[in-house]
Amino acid sequence: MVELSNKYIYKIIVVGDGGVGKTSLIKKFTEGSFEKEYIKTIGAQFSKYESERNGDRIKLLFWDIAGQEDFQFLLPSFYQNAKAAIIVYSLEENELGKNSFAHIKNWHENVLNFCGQIPLLVFANKLDLVNEANLDMIELQKLVNDNNFLGFYLTSAKTGKGVIEAFNAIIDRIYEHFNPKIFEI
């Protein structure tokens, strides 16, 4: 049995409009489960997940805040000490999808205001509800490039498609960015 060395703790905030699937994505990644019924997040939810990179133990704390306006007063404490951010929007071809995409800029401004420049990914969620072949990702890629986001991932909390890869991408980036051993010579 390999003994793991240092333990790192990283807070990752998961933001986006209400109903885009933030909680479902976190549950799919951390527990492998999916709730069919929508349960509105009240305030914020916290999930823990342990991982390992290069023999180091990593404890991740996912902070999932309600996307509704009623909970904006929680933002300062919610964002405090975050090491990375995930902005989630819905790929649905309806008002929720259009609005959640348009609001990516607002969520990014919040992250910048409260956290400064931290690693940030966009999850385009609910892939199971659209025809992937018909997706035009040019506007999203432009948004990612213009704002220096790490990138974007197409995800489905329901089917699990892209979820593990997307979360592992942000975990890898945090570990590389904040691990002091990486900078040792």
Whether CATH 3.40.50.300 fits 7-183: yes
Query: What confidence score (pLDDT) does residue 46 get?
Result: 78
Q: What are the residue ranges spanned by the domains of the chain?
A: 7-183
Kindly report, residue by residue over 131-159, the tens digit of the pLDDT: 998 998 999 999 999 999 999 999 999 99
Residues of the chain with pLDDT under 50: 1-2, 4, 42, 182-185
**What strands lie across the sheet with 84-90, from one edge to the other?**
44-53, 56-65, 7-15, 84-90, 120-125, 151-154
Q: From 94, 141, 97, 99, select the one nearest 122 (Cα to Cα).
A: 141
In angstroms, the CA 34 to CA 27 distance is 7
Residue 5, both tokens: 């060395």
Give the residue among 14, 120, 2 at the shortest CA–CA distance from 53: 2
Q: Are 129 and 91 a contacting pair, CB within 8 Å? A: yes
pLDDT of residue 2: 45
Q: What does the pLDDT read at residue 124?
A: 98
Q: In this structure, are residues 55 and 2 in contact, taking their beta carbons and an 8 Å threshold?
A: yes
Strand partners, 46: 63
Query: In Å, how far are 12, 41, 117, 132 from 136, measured between CA atoms?
Result: 28, 30, 28, 9
What pLDDT is stored for residue 41 in this prediction? 53
The predicted structure's pLDDT at residue 67: 58
Nearest to 98 by CA among 11, 17, 3: 17
Question: Is the distance from CB of 149 to CB of 122 less than 8 angstroms?
Answer: yes
State the helix-helix crossing angle for 22-31 and 163-178, rounded to 10 degrees.
Answer: 80
